Amino acid sequence: MTLGRTLYLTLLLVIAKLLSAQTYNFETIGLEQGLPQSQITCLKEDTRGYLWIGTQGGGVACYDGLKFKVYDEAAGIAGNIITSIEEDLNKHIWIGTTYGGVTHFDGKNFYNITKENGLLADGVTAIAVGKNNVMYVATPHGLNIIENKTVSALKPEIFSNKIIKKIHRDTQGKLWFLAGNELFLYNNYEWININTLYKIKPAVNAIAQDKSGNLWVSVQGEGLYIFSKKNNDSYQFLPYNKNDELKNINIQNIIFDNRNNLWICTNGYGIAKLDEDKLQFFNRKNGFNADAVTTVCEDRNGNLWFGTNGDGIIKYTPSPFVYYDNIPGFDASNIFGILADKENNLWVSPTGNEVIKYNEKGITKYNASNGLNIKGARIIAQDKQGTIWVGGSNGLFYISNNIVKKYTLLPDSTLVRSLLFDKNGNIWVGTSGQGLYCFQGNNITHFNMENGLTHNYIHSLFQDSRGIIWIGTGAGVNYIEKGKIGNYWHAEGFCNDYVGSITEDRKGNMYFGTDRCVVQYNRSKFRTYTQADGLASSTIYSLITDNAGNVWVGTNKGIDKLNISSAGEIVRIKNYSYQEGFKGIECNSRAVTKDK
């Protein structure tokens, strides 16, 4: 059987305590990929799915996911330093520049609007689309309104020469202006100074709206505040309850994604994500390769694009997978032994000659230097007492209270292939060529071909909800029920003799992984599932059932999630491979664990 070539250690259920060790699906896109300049000022996805990127001197780049098309002064836009990008209701693009006014692009032609056409200044600081396709264009000298190419000025005295930095249109169509260090609300009939109304003294520098209609703002040096909506014209101003973690952090931009997570762009600390009151930072330690982040945009597929000050664009693809590939020993190319123990420590065997325990305190290595003289470690398991057991090509070892001992009841020459602790505390040891051992205290029972097994190579062991011991061999599946051995060798519906993995769903169906299929056994008949039925591959390396009753299948071409109906039928197969964030692609035999 072909073993995994490029396994990255991946947990299906992420261990919450190990956040600092995780790396995520961040992709940096820079000058090498065609971006005209690495300092990004603004981002906008248009209704056709193109990403428009404003730069600090390289003009505008339009990105289709593969290549860039660059528009600069030579192409016809008003200037190369871009401050803002917006799309109107006619699907035309508006581009604000620092010295050339605003550019209107209808998809074919550029039309530049400058001071000569009625703009209050040629420097544009922000753009927004209002009702009836009215464009609001902010300049250092005030606000312009452009309607059907007619330019008019709006200079409310309340701004008092404050420069408008950002304009946000909420879901009701009201416009919020960040001008100077203050926040203003324009509700189409009056201007309201929010800082004065709510006695906000520090600068307000970012604004976003969540799915409940609440407005969130960042206040310089104090963190986030929430305008909790009470009725149409009334808000309650509340501080975010985790502001202690955000104080003195320079927040430059914020956005709510389509899952209602809040993303925070900072100057110096990378980005942060607020997910159901959990705040998590992303920086160079966990895969986000920038410190100063200026802007953010979410595309129609849920990907997030972050513009940085000098590091180009960083794309984040939401993925169910998180990687522990920046820990010494965990970045090995072939990990077979893996265990999340009852205390949420993570154990792996990266080389076969040692075992590494990892938790939030760091790593602990067990090898020949401290008593674990293991060779070819392939299996790690934990008994009811919390003792860790490691099986390899030279027998069985156990680790208790950091002390390593050899299990002497098993012959030294035994090549341990599988390990099971049953509900009665008995130890079952499957071997390569020497059959199956059962240890009941000091009593040893040895099963092999001479007394009932169909094969002496024991690749997998599993005890089901009925107490039956299932034995995966090189000649079909065997089972031991009430002390008697039986087998399903050459059974109708079984596609292959090799059984390398076993699990049970919550309806009591059994699943057997082979080199050619997954076999489902409903206790009366066998049914085969292959690549033709929707699996990523017919070559199966691992099986496990999650707490929701889904069966996960590890293959040589990714993993599959099998949704099981209330009737015990497989009703949906979801594939996860490289495109979904599973970078390792090929799994390793039995190298899967479920944490608490």
Q: pLDDT value at position 16?
A: 36
Q: Are 596 and 508 in contact (CB under 8 A)?
A: no
Residue bearing the bigger pLDDT, 589 or 19: 589
Task: Judge whether residue 386 has pLDDT over 50.
Answer: yes
Torsion of CA 567, 569, 570, 571, to 10 degrees: -60
**For the chain, what is the mean pLDDT?**
91
Q: 538: domain CATH number?
A: 2.40.10
Mean pLDDT for 283-292 is 91
pLDDT at 231: 62
**What end-to-end distance do the CA atoms of the chain give, in Å?**
31
pLDDT of residue 206: 95
**pLDDT digit string, tens, across residues 5-52:** 333 333 333 333 344 567 778 999 999 999 999 999 999 999 999 999
Say which residues have a Cβ less than 8 Å from residue 102's Cβ, sequence separation at least 6. 78, 94, 95, 96, 112, 113, 119, 124, 127, 137, 146
Total number of domains in the chain: 2
The answer to whether residue 326 scores a pLDDT higher than 90 is: no
- pLDDT over threshold 90, residue 273: yes
pLDDT of residue 1: 32
Mean pLDDT to the nearest integer, 410-431: 95
Residue 138's alpha-carbon distances to 97, 167, 186, 297, in angstroms, are: 11, 8, 14, 21
pLDDT-wise least confident of 22-26, 450-454, 511-515, 578-582: 22-26
CA 476 to CA 491: how far, in whole Å?
8
Domain presence at residue 187 = no
Opening angle at CA 321, ends 320 and 325, nearest 5: 165
Cα distance between residue 461 and residue 391, in whole Å = 14
With respect to residue 516, please indicate whether it lies within any of the assigned structural domains.
yes
On whether the pTM is more than 0.85, the answer is no
Residue 2: is its pLDDT beyond 90?
Answer: no
Last residue of a domain, one of 155, 171, 200: 155
> Among residues 135, 155, 175, which one ends one of the domains?
155
Confidence of residue 158 (pLDDT cuts 50, 70, 90): confident
Q: Is a pLDDT exceeding 50 seen at residue 272?
A: yes
CATH number of residue 46's parent domain: 2.130.10.10
Q: How many helices (H) and strands (E) does the chain have?
A: 1, 52
- Tell me whether strands 304-308 and 313-316 are parallel, antiparallel or unpaired: antiparallel
| Beta carbons of 299 and 305 less than 8 angstroms apart | yes
Whether 160 maps to a domain, the answer reads no
Percent of the chain predicted with pLDDT > 70 = 96
The pLDDT of residue 25 is: 82
Q: What is the average pLDDT across 393-411?
A: 95
Query: Distance between CA 311 and CA 289 in Å, rounded?
Result: 8
pLDDT, residue 325, reads 76
pLDDT band at residue 228 under the 50/70/90 scheme:
confident
Residue 132 lies in a domain: yes
Q: Can you tell me the distance from the alpha carbon of 542 to that of 536, in angstroms, rounded to the nearest whole number? A: 13
Q: Please check whether residue 402 lies inside any domain of the structure.
A: no
DSSP 8-state class, residue 198: H
Residue 426 within any structural domain of the chain: no
Q: What is the pLDDT of residue 235?
A: 76
Residue 541 lies in a domain: yes
For residue 20, the SS3 value is helix
Q: Which domain holds residue 38?
A: 32-155
pLDDT tens for 466-481 read 999 999 999 999 999 9
Q: 412 or 379: whose pLDDT is higher?
A: 379
Q: How many CB atoms lie within 10 A of CB 203?
A: 17
Q: Is residue 101 part of a domain?
A: yes
HEC string of 496-532?
CCCCCEEEECCCCCEEEECCCCEEEECCCCEEEECHH
C-alpha closest to that of 488 among 519, 509, 466: 519
Last residue of a domain, one of 155, 189, 204: 155
* pLDDT higher than threshold 60 for residue 406: yes
